[in-house]
Structure 1
Amino acid sequence: MGRPIKKLLSFAGTGLLLAAALAAGSASAMADPGGPNVHALENSTRVCSLPAAGEAACTARQVTPNGKAAPRLSAPPSSGLTPAQLRDAYKLTGTSSGGRTVAIVDAYGYPNLASDLATYRAQFGLPACTVASGCLRILNQNGGTTLPSFNLGWAQEQALDVDAVSAACPDCKIVVIQANSASFTDLGTGVQAAARIPGVVAISNSYGGSDASDAAYGKYYSFPGIAVTASAGDSGYKGASYPATSSYVTAVGGTSLVKATNARGWTESVWSGTGSGCSAYNAALPAASSYGTGCSKRAMNDVAAASDPNNGGLAVVYPTSSSSSTWGQFGGTSEASPIIASVYALSGNTGSAATRTYANSIPYAHPGALFDVASGTNGTCPTTQWCTARTGWDGPTGLGTPNGVSGF
């Protein structure tokens, strides 16, 4: 068991709903918390504020039973996904990265990150990952050690991210980059810093904003040879989200994951809150050309993982203030992005800098090695596969979810 966690203050958080204008080959819509996908978000609360122009917001959501404030817990919630369950669901049990490094890029500071991560890992019998051992590094957006000021919502996002990497890849090293703000410039600078760190093979970005052009921001995410993942957002089919729509990034959608008595032991369907859509700006992936996306440009998503806060949400140690923490249950596509980054790290196959091969092309060469998610929807749309699951590629879940590491 992990060490006890202090009781804490209640928190209030607001969060992300993405807005994006879609052009040729797509439709246009604005993200709206009262829109047709509001049912998907019941009993959960976004933790980050809506993004201003030029900014992103984190895509984490916390379970808030019956719409009430989340209870303060001294132990993991019984309904929260554990590391053993996550690895079983995605057939990762027994896999190892050999000590590869996953980087996480978020905004603002989180003073209790190391101690909260220690509690999480001890609770579930995972090997310690500490700053002292070199397993954990916490850096600013330039790679330095002077860290930015605390922000509650983004700190809760970081808690979900580091716990998700720990659950999916217990032997991975972790680098957390804390940007000075939620601007794309600061977050992107953080991605660049992560890419310079020796040993980093995957970089997770659990945030998004309006659809944007790689001509403006692509330099921050273009790292062939490193798997860069990004969350699709939590507003259902309402428009594309950047950086998930970048041609350089693996766009990660969300599923509902439920224990079952079938051969796999789990069932998966589209989480109705997951984002999906078509970029108005960025080029379609050549690897996706034969999959009938229906998008004239970049289609979102490529793959998916557990995201439904209530059905597949992860048990997490999270902060409620700059000095206090507790247990809770978190989801959103913020859960899925670090899971997929971890699977890339486990596979050791993250593209090639020498041949300028991006990691997002890899699953398209191995679709049969993924769990195909063929049921569920995340809204209404003019082209069926943009919002409704089907056999093969679809917008909400891409090609599917991990079935071991062979799809990556």
Structure 2
Amino acid sequence: MAGALPDGDPVPLDGSLPHAAAAAAGKNGFAVYVHVPFCASRCGYCDFNTYTASELGGGAGRDEYADTVLRELKLAATVIDPEKVDTVFVGGGTPTLLSADDLGRILEGIDKTWGLRSDAEITTEANPESVTPDYLRTLRRNGFTRISLGMQSASPAVLRILDRTHTAGRAPQAALEARAAGFDHVNLDLIYGTPGETAEDFAGSLAAVIDAGVDHVSAYALIVEDGTRMAARMRRGELPFPSDDVAADRYLAAEQALTAGGLDWYEVSNWAAGDDARCRHNMLYWTGADWWGLGPGAHSHVGGVRWWNVKHPTAYAKKLADDHSPGHAREILTDADRRVEDIMLRVRLRDGIPLTLVDAAGAAQALGDGLLEAGAYAAGQLVLTLRGRLLADAVIRDVV
């Protein structure tokens, strides 16, 4: 499970924010994130804030979880009053271990509290083996418009190394079932660079997502986090550490295959079939909007104030039962903090960032190194080339 939460300033028991922050809530868009911390089993590479049934104490199980989240939502309503909710994203863990009706109740609670825009994007993550056609139809009836399925790979051998429990063909099949259930948008997640994965394995995964007809793909290089089972196996020499060169080759393969399949990059790790298929929730994160994170360990950001909830579901439930904010700590971002974070996120976008917001000398150097598109640069915008995407972190360091 995830490591210790960072320290920060205390969160008031009622969760209140400085007046200026509360008054600014939602001025640049407003999103709600709901964290569902349950998993049937733990994947070897995962360090998210998730728990299996054996790791949970009383009062923190799945059956009562929706009611606990609704209690935090009731508290949140006393703190801010954004105009409307643009997007909702339910992540985990495995949100679809909750019943589709419980997820629907949470969504209904958000609508009653702050109001959903008529065109709001409503996403849930799901593991492929955790959904059925009936479940997907119920989700759709309850207002969900988008689903993100954790495929990771089409190779049985790679799935075994990742400790994934679904079969190789289940994720594309679940994507087809989601389309049949009426979902407007379907995403498949891939992980590349897993020890033992071959170029042919990854090519097969790319072909599978394209054949599934999804309109969005997220592809991430494997990152081995301290404290995970995979990290321990690597330290023992059972698995090799990931290779940066292999990861770069896989990224180039993804760009080629996904572009040929009708999907264009819009963020370094994300491809979509047109602007309307972009994940609007993530776009709000990346462009400086506000959001409230519901659930244990969830992070929020409103008006330059960022806070994070206590991590364990039992502690989270107890604080709310006592009518206290579940916030563990918070920080107030300075203008300099917000500028740096804005650059870090927006440089990764296909839309780029105005050159006036970044370091001129660093941008000129990146252009000379072939990391920025010359045409966009001439028009006053910083946009990464394909090579620049491979070296995005270095570009960000230069232009900050």
For the criterion TM > 0.5, the same-fold answer is no
Larger radius of gyration between Structure 1 and Structure 2: 2
TM-score (norm 1): 0.33
Higher fraction of helix: 2
TM-score for the superposition, normalised by structure 2: 0.34
